[in-house]
Each structure stands twice: as structure tokens, then as C-alpha cells.
Amino acid sequence: MGLQEVWFVLIAVLFTGYFVLEGFDFGVGMLMPVLGRGRTETADTRRRVLLNTIGPVWDGNEVWLLTAGGAMFAAFPEWYATLFSGFYLPLLLILLGLIVRVVAIEYRGKIDDPTWRRRCDWGIVFGSWVPAVLWGVAFANIVRGVAIDENKQYIGGFFDLLNPYALLGGATTALVFALHGAVFIALKSADEVREDAVKLAARLAVPAVVVAGVFVVWTQLAYGKTWTWLVVGVAAAALLAVVALTRAEREGWAFVFTTVAIVGTVVLLFGSLFPNVMPSTLGDTLSLTIENASSSPYTLKVMTWAAVIVTPVVLIYQGWTYWVFRQRISTKHIPKSIGLSLGTK
């Protein structure tokens, strides 16, 4: 395996980590209107519980996206340039959603006013739903292929990206992230919040399995390879296991299998894509591949040494963070005062 293949795999791993970790962050934000309902005081306390389940880790989870984007820019600059220029509007909407969510989370507890907190809550919901949908749309289009000309420029329009396959991809990521988030809330909370999250996860499991199953099979039949059938089987089995486990209120194992399903889906997408990084619908010779889109061998070599040194440190630190903040949270742990940031002080 050459360095181009290595960095293609590493970028796939980074996006896998991002979708697994940021996926439940999105899910928590998406489900706030449902799991945060109640009287004004009760609703605010429940929403603070939801936010505190991701409070110590959500900003660290976003680092995976920054690293994936940086790795793509350095290892495959042509891929980065074509993707970010051609998909400018959807990626801008994703960025806008992420910014709104960050501001809403950080500033929600700064002003003791119900109207202010309600507006911040809607900012969190918006900043969770928009990226959750558009990431699926974007990656479905990358696998499907878009109109790339001889200058390595995308010559289609925004509405060309809203094809049936891509929209199904957006529905898949939205439903799977919502399910992933519901299971995570059940795993990290206690008392009535956990009970409601378990029930919601059980209701979300079936539609998530149906939509994701159709998307995965479509991907395999249209773009997959022989070996990716194994990945399809693993992802399908994981999703079916989630249905049974959520009904049995085994949220720990359910979270493991939603993670497996997300990992399997990302592996299927990148496996179907290889050796292309961005196929062209105008002809195979115009497609971007790991060879014609990559940086020089020297650049890849320097990046590889940097990754070997830095990556273990980052993984150990993030793993330690999850271990320290592994306890469940309930409404009893939330003080009456608003406090700072997420309301934990």
C-alpha cells in the first residue's frame, strides 16, 4: 500500500470518527424539542440535562472534522479544491449550522431569560438538523459522481445535488444520527430523561433501519464492490440489533451497534469510492483519483510522520476525557441557578 492509499484510508477514518462522535452530538440537538418538553422550569432543566450529556466532549468531537479537512487539503489538494468550490453552498450551510450551534450552546446560560434560552435552543436544533441532513447529501453525491470537466471544476448547479439518491442519503444520516443521539442520551442520563430517551430510541429504530437499509442496498448495487457486500451485511445486522436492543432497554449495547452501523456505512461509501476521490459523470477520464489529485510523495511522507507522532496523543487525551465524564446525569444534578455556559456551575 502506497502513501496515497494510506492517506485515503486515514481520511476515511477521520470522517468515520467524526460521524460517530459528532453524530450523537447532532442527535442530542435534534431531539431537544422532543425530550426537552414539560413545564417551563421542567423543560429548561431537562434541556440542560441533554446539553450536559455532551457538554464535556462536543467541541472535541468537532476536531475530527477539522483534521479531516486539513488532511484532505494537504494530501489531496485537487480533491479539496473541487469539492469545496463545487459544493460551496451546501458546505456553507453546514458551516453556518455549526457556527449557530456553537454560539447557542456557549451563550445559552449567559443570560437569565426564558426567551433568550428558547432562542438558543432553536439555534441548537437548527445547527444540528442542517449538518445532519447535508452531510448525507454531500457524501452521496461524492460517491454518485458529479459533473467535473477537464479543468477539474464542478460545472453543475446546486439543485443538481438534490437528486433522489442524495436526498435519501440526507434522510439516512438524519435518522441514524437522531437514533444514535437518543441511545446516547439514554446511556448518559438517568430517571425520567433516560426513560423517555429509551422509548424514543425504540420508536426511531424502525424508520431508521428502513431508510438506511434502502440507502445502503442502493449504494451497494449501484456503486459497491464485491468485498463491500460484507460491510453491507455487518451494517444491516447492526441496525437490526439496535431495534431489538432499544426495545429491551439495553442502551449500552444499542450504542455499540449504532456505532457499528455508522462505521459500516462510511466504510461502504469510501470503499465504493476508491480509487476515485470524486468521480465525474462526464467521463471516467475526468474523474479525480488518489493519483491525479494527490500531493507530492515528499509531502505525503512528512504528513505521515507527523500523523504517527501526534495521533496517539490526541486519541489518548480524548479517550481520557470520555472516561472522566462517564457518569450518568439526571435532573437532580442540575442546580436551580443558570450558572455559566451549559449551566453546570
Sequential pLDDT tens for the chain (345 residues): 799 999 999 999 999 999 999 999 999 999 999 998 865 558 888 999 999 999 899 988 999 999 999 999 999 999 999 999 999 999 999 999 999 999 999 999 888 888 999 999 999 999 999 999 999 999 999 999 999 999 999 998 888 999 999 999 999 999 999 999 999 999 999 888 999 999 999 999 999 999 999 999 999 999 999 999 999 999 999 999 999 999 999 999 999 999 999 999 999 999 999 999 999 999 989 999 999 999 999 999 999 999 999 889 888 988 999 999 989 988 887 877 544 444 443
The model's pTM is 0.93
The distance in angstroms from the start CA to the end CA of the chain is: 51
293, 73 in Cβ contact below 8 A? no
- Give kind and range of the element (H or E) at residue 139: helix 114-144
Q: What torsion do the CA atoms of 273, 177, 186, 98 make, to the nearest 10 degrees?
A: 110
Cβ neighbors of 334 (< 8 A, separation 6 or more) are 45, 48, 49, 52, 343, 344
Cβ neighbors of 166 (< 8 A, separation 6 or more) are 136, 137, 140, 141, 144
* CA gap 235, 262 in Å, rounded: 8
